[in-house]
Amino acid sequence: MSTMEGDLLHTVETGSISASRRFWGYAALWVSAAWFAASFMLQSSHDLGWTQLGFENWRPVLYAYFIWAAVLCATRVVIHGEAGKKALFVLPAALFVVSMVVFPLLFALWVGFSDWNLASPTGRQFNGLDNLRQMLGDAFYLNALINMVYYALAIVVEYAIAFGLALLLSQEIVARKFWRVTFLLPLMLSPVAVGWMVGKSMLETRFGPIARLARWLGWENPSFFGDPLTAKLSIMVMDAWTFIPFMMIMLLAGLQSLSREVLEAAEVDGATKWQRFWQVIFPLMLPVSVTAVMIRIIFKLKLADIIITVTAGGPGGATDSVTSFIYREYRDRSNVGYGTLLALVYLVIIVIGMTTMINISDRIVKRMTGRI
Amino acid sequence: MKLEVYDALMRRQASRRDVLRGTASAAALMGVSSVMGGLPARAFAADDVRAQILKIPGVGKGAPTDADWQKVGELCLGPTKANVKQGEFAGVELTFMGLNNQNLHNFLFRGFLKPWEAYTGAKINWIDLAQADYNARLQQSIATGTVDFDILEMGAPFEGDTAGKGLLSEMPDWVKKQIDIDDYVDYLKPPVGTWDGKTYRVTIDGDCHNFNYRADYFKDETLAKAWKDEGHSGEWSVPKTWAQVQEVSKFLKGKKDPLSAGPAYGYLDPYKGWGGFGFYFLEDRATAYVKMPGDPAWLFDPENMKPLVNSPGWVRAIQEAMDLLSYEPTDQINADPGTTGFQQFLAGTGSMVTWWGDIGQQANTSDTSVVGEVAAFDILPGSEDVYDRKAGKWVKAKDGVNYAPNCAYLGWGIYVMARVESDKLKHRAAWSAAAHLGGKDLAIWTAMYPSGFQVHRNSQSKIEEWVAAGYKGDYISNYLKSQFGSYNHPNRAVEPRIPGIFQYYSVAEDELAKGYGGKYKSAQETADAIAAAWEKITDQIGRDKQLKLYRASLGL
């Protein structure tokens, strides 16, 4: 083993790689890369109808990619020796991300800017910005986006309830563990099951127990999905019932990690219960709160299962979410190109929206907690 | 099996698989024999087979199980044995793609085909799909050129997507004979039974919407008196036209249900979308107004594929559905056809509903039905006038009332994919399996018991067979009359089998939801929005190609 200057602590082998080893390493890498690129180009040409030569399907190209990826990893060590081994800690994960995230995203872009109705005999046709233009004039998509704003705003109420429940469960109450598990149960249910159990059974207007209770309370003809406002509220309540426990458990964990000394000091200083909450607990909980709300927003933006099960977006689109609309566009109408573009635009909106919100909330947290 | 017997068989060169297969067959036969009261001493005549299978397990004796399906499959093997030698398909593997709705469809096919597999030596691999996934899976397979199945259970409306693209195998003549294809009801014969003059479908179902109503409502003296007292014209009776359905439904608001004493309701419209299937129910109303006798076109203009959905006949149907909304149960706007048929009508809410034949099948056999004693059936209501699209005006119906039963979905069929044609043995095996599932005797069993399939053969109209199986004579006569009356009606409205037909229905459901929700100013505006959306789909799929296939599906 030779030694050299540099990171001596972590480097156990350096500088002993022969020129021929490097040559064969590079040769293997370039051959595998060339094979992968050639098979990709050949199959692309075949699919685009430029050549007759090609494979029956894309599987050989996939195999070429696997081989190239394996050779890339192996040649890191062959070419760079011990230093190359460091890359092996990251490279497989990076290749996995490229395969499972970056490539599908690029493929989605390729599909999203095309006219591809699965029933069309002509197959996929590139159509430039037509899908984007169609989207701008699509009243259903716009309606669904507006609905999402309302759904997202409901998180404010959900947060308040979740915080209240978390405070309650952090107290020394009887059967505290039992209540914690009980409050978590809705989160364990599938939203589809919630849709059927609550939306289509308990809220059923004739025999549903909640409808009966409403009748007993004097509501002559209880209707939970009959008009747009009630239907939207009913969907919000069902979704909130499912996911409030999620926020509650995050906030509860945050409450339990608060320093008891700080709380006791506030009490000793004569702070009232409200002052202790508003001026001590709430600011200290802000980082956890922001995380909980952000994750909840991400969940909310994917809202679809309950809507598809209970209202199918009705009445008159009042409960439609972007995801439930895309689902109809894609599944019922096989409109793959347009559906994919709608999903991509939604992704961009979410990324921009979430980034902005994180920045804003970060500033608020810093201001309120005094951290610069 | 004793070891010495096994050893003896092995000495005779019997493979382990043959031994196991033989054991399975013997076990199946023993199972059958217990039902039949002893081992069969001779091949049964067709009538004997029918009499025996219809008692498995017997109407009112619980839901059939896998053992029952296998027994029925074994007893119906006669036609297969006449065409295929035992073990002829040994080594052949087939992939079957179908549905698993309500534990029916593929679940039954597995049982029916198990004895067929044991006899022929073929093996079947299964792809089970939920209804919601079916369309997407099929369309993706077609569009991406990845058809990975040999036999397909498919609704006839998808023939435009499959036969229209050359993906199906044409039915051989020996299969036509084996399944007795001439026994199909009229409307399932050519042109509906063929695509471009060729036969691809082994029909196992005959879908058509009929009119289900509560006989007790229309025999109720209190309601009859109220009808007179309120000054309605004519006697209190079952509506024969959609105008009467409207009048009766509005009259019933505020009255008492004769069975439950709860609120009485008339017709039940499904206002909520159902993956495209909900549009059939608007068609039920519309066909009486737009389907002219002698003119097969009622959805699109066969000259240019322009939608007819915004013509005055369709607008009247949409307007009537809008008008009735406030007279129907609370939250009806959130009711899909599953709700109207099963959660409402069968559960005792409402007095009239249109549906496929399932309502009649289940009214007397389902545990959740409370209307078994009072359910009655007819063909869809008609109209005294009809919109003549060619003349561009409303005309009086020739016979007083224009009836146009809606042949919605045209029924399920078994199809063999063209990809098996390169292998003669596989091709023959696939068609043999399809013919077994579409056999004449097997078909009467599936029509009588829960299967998801309804009557579709003329031979299924023998009342005595249904009565022998346990059905009540009057009930089944009334039910079958509504079914066959629809199928064989000269002015039946036949669904066009064009590619993407459910895309048209699905987008129409979205626009209708907006119309019903008050987002459009009128029924006409709603209809215009549907027409505009349909035009977009036609242009996207390809107008010329669509027009050609549309005309072919109408037999033009």
Among candidates A119, A221, A222 on the partner chain, residue whose Cβ is nearest the Cβ of B161: A119
Report pLDDT digits (tens) over B69-115: 999 999 999 999 999 999 999 999 999 999 987 678 999 999 999 99
Chain A residue numbers with beta carbons less than 8 Å from the beta carbon of B348 are none
Report pLDDT digits (tens) over A146-201: 999 999 999 999 999 999 999 999 988 888 889 888 999 999 999 999 998 999 88
Report pLDDT digits (tens) over B371-393: 989 999 999 999 999 999 999 99
Interface-testing mutation among A117, A118, A205, with chain B (most B C-beta atoms within 10 A)? A118
Fold of B210-404: D-Maltodextrin-Binding Protein; domain 2 (3.40.190)
Query: A16 falls in which pLDDT band (50, 70, 90)?
Result: confident
Is A221 within 8 Å of chain B by CB? Answer: yes
B300 Cβ contact list (under 8 Å, min separation 6): B306, B307, B308, B496, B534, B550
Report pLDDT digits (tens) over A338-355: 999 999 999 999 999 999
- pLDDT exceeds 80 at position B8: no
Cβ distance B336 to A330 less than 8 Å, yes or no, reads no
Fold of B43-207+411-477: D-Maltodextrin-Binding Protein; domain 2 (3.40.190)
Cβ distance B513 to A117 less than 8 Å, yes or no, reads no
Per the prediction, chain B carries an average pLDDT of 89
| Across A79-106, average pLDDT | 91
Closest CA of chain B from A117, distance in Å:
7
Cβ distance A333 to B161 less than 8 Å, yes or no, reads no
Closest CA of chain A from B360, distance in Å:
23
* Topology agreement, domain B43-207+411-477 and domain B210-404: yes
Residue A1 domain flag:
no
In terms of domains, do A75 and A149 share one? no
What is the reported pLDDT for A6?
A: 54
- pLDDT exceeds 60 at position B514: yes
Residue A120 domain flag:
yes
In terms of domains, do A117 and A237 share one? no
In terms of domains, do A126 and A252 share one? no
Is B370 within 8 Å of chain A by CB? Answer: no
What is the reported pLDDT for B151?
A: 97
Cβ distance A117 to B135 less than 8 Å, yes or no, reads no
What is the reported pLDDT for B3?
A: 40
Chain B residue numbers with beta carbons less than 8 Å from the beta carbon of A331 are 132, 135-136, 275
Number of domain units in chain A: 2
ipTM of the complex: 0.80
Among candidates B262, B514, B540 on the partner chain, residue whose Cβ is nearest the Cβ of A115: B540
Per the prediction, chain A carries an average pLDDT of 90
- pLDDT exceeds 80 at position B39: no
Among candidates B135, B165, B540 on the partner chain, residue whose Cβ is nearest the Cβ of A117: B540
Cβ distance B329 to A206 less than 8 Å, yes or no, reads yes
- pLDDT exceeds 70 at position B43: no
What is the reported pLDDT for A297?
A: 95
What is the reported pLDDT for B30?
A: 40
Residue B188: name the closest of B231, B148, B156 by CA. B156
**Domain chopping of chain B, boundaries:** 43-207+411-477, 210-404
What is the reported pLDDT for B556?
A: 80
Closest-CA residue of B relative to A337 is: B540
Query: A205 falls in which pLDDT band (50, 70, 90)?
Result: confident
Is A229 within 8 Å of chain B by CB? Answer: no
What is the reported pLDDT for A272?
A: 92
Closest CA of chain B from A94, distance in Å:
29
Cβ distance A332 to B331 less than 8 Å, yes or no, reads no
What is the reported pLDDT for A177?
A: 87
Cβ distance A314 to B274 less than 8 Å, yes or no, reads no
Among candidates B135, B333, B502 on the partner chain, residue whose Cβ is nearest the Cβ of A314: B333
Q: Which residues 334-363 on chain B approach chain A with CB closer than 8 angstroms?
A: 334, 336, 343, 349
Cβ distance B334 to A314 less than 8 Å, yes or no, reads yes
Q: Is B339 exposed, middle or buried (0-12, 13-18, 19+ CB in 10 A)?
A: buried
Among candidates A123, A205, A315 on the partner chain, residue whose Cβ is nearest the Cβ of B516: A315
Cβ distance A315 to B517 less than 8 Å, yes or no, reads yes
Among candidates B276, B331, B506 on the partner chain, residue whose Cβ is nearest the Cβ of A226: B331
Residue A241 domain flag:
yes
Is B213 within 8 Å of chain A by CB? Answer: no
Reported pTM: 0.84
Cβ distance B517 to A316 less than 8 Å, yes or no, reads yes
What is the reported pLDDT for B29?
A: 39
Q: Which of A106, A132, A158 is the last residue of a domain?
A: A132
Query: A316 falls in which pLDDT band (50, 70, 90)?
Result: confident
Closest CA of chain B from A209, distance in Å:
15
In terms of domains, do A160 and A246 share one? yes
Cβ distance B330 to A317 less than 8 Å, yes or no, reads no
Query: A8 falls in which pLDDT band (50, 70, 90)?
Result: low
Chain A residue numbers with beta carbons less than 8 Å from the beta carbon of B140 are 118
Choice between B1 and B520, residue whose per-residue pLDDT is larger: B520
Chain B residue numbers with beta carbons less than 8 Å from the beta carbon of A224 are 331
Residue A174 domain flag:
yes
What is the reported pLDDT for B45?
A: 54
Cβ distance A121 to B545 less than 8 Å, yes or no, reads yes
- pLDDT exceeds 70 at position B41: no
Report pLDDT digits (tens) over A45-77: 998 888 888 898 889 999 999 999 999 999 999
**Identity at A48, one-letter amino acid code:** L
In terms of domains, do A239 and A292 share one? yes
In terms of domains, do A230 and A284 share one? yes
What is the reported pLDDT for A362?
A: 87
In terms of domains, do A159 and A277 share one? yes
In terms of domains, do A247 and A300 share one? yes
Q: Which of A77, A110, A132 is the last residue of a domain?
A: A132
Q: Which domain holds residue A275?
A: 134-369
How many Cβ pairs closer than 8 A exist between chain A and B?
121
Q: Which residues 523-542 on chain B approach chain A with CB closer than 8 angstroms?
A: 537, 540-542
Chain B residue numbers with beta carbons less than 8 Å from the beta carbon of A225 are 331, 333-334
Among candidates B333, B500, B518 on the partner chain, residue whose Cβ is nearest the Cβ of A119: B500
In terms of domains, do A212 and A227 share one? yes
- Residue B298 to residue B292: CA distance in whole angstroms: 8
Interface-testing mutation among A125, A235, A333, with chain B (most B C-beta atoms within 10 A)? A333
What is the reported pLDDT for B376?
A: 97
Chain A residue numbers with beta carbons less than 8 Å from the beta carbon of B147 are none
Closest CA of chain B from A49, distance in Å:
15
Q: Domain with A159 in it: what CATH number? A: 1.10.3720.10
In terms of domains, do A126 and A145 share one? no
| Across B140-157, average pLDDT | 90
Residue A231 domain flag:
yes
Residue A200 domain flag:
yes
Residue A9 domain flag:
no
Q: Is A134 exposed, middle or buried (0-12, 13-18, 19+ CB in 10 A)?
A: middle
Is B23 within 8 Å of chain A by CB? Answer: no
3-state SS, chain A, equals: CCCCCCCCCCCCCCCCCCHHHHHHHHHHHHHHHHHHHHHHHHHHHHHCCCCCCCCCCCHHHHHHHHHHHHHHHHHHHHHHCHHHHHHHCCHHHHHHHHHHHHHHHHHHHHHHCEECECCCCCCCEECCCHHHHHHHCCHHHHHHHHHHHHHHHHHHHHHHHHHHHHHHHHCCCCCHHHHHHHHHHHHHCCHHHHHHHHHHHHCCCCCCHHHHHHHHCCCCCCCCCCCHHHHHHHHHHHHHHHHHHHHHHHHHHHHHCCCHHHHHHHHHCCCCHHHHHHHHHHHHHHHHHHHHHHHHHHHHHCCCHHHHHHCCCCCCCCCCCHHHHHHHHHHHCCEHHHHHHHHHHHHHHHHHHHHHHHHHHHHHHHHHHCCC
Cβ distance B507 to A205 less than 8 Å, yes or no, reads no
When mean pLDDT is compared across A83-87, A365-369, B267-271, B273-277, the lowest value belongs to A365-369
Chain A residue numbers with beta carbons less than 8 Å from the beta carbon of B508 are none
| Across B528-555, average pLDDT | 92
- pLDDT exceeds 70 at position A233: yes
Helix (H, G, I), strand (E, B) or coil at B392: coil
Closest-CA residue of B relative to A325 is: B510
Report pLDDT digits (tens) over A108-153: 999 999 999 888 878 888 999 999 999 999 999 999 999 999 999 9
In terms of domains, do A246 and A327 share one? yes
Residue A180 domain flag:
yes
Closest CA of chain A from B359, distance in Å:
21
In terms of domains, do A122 and A64 share one? yes
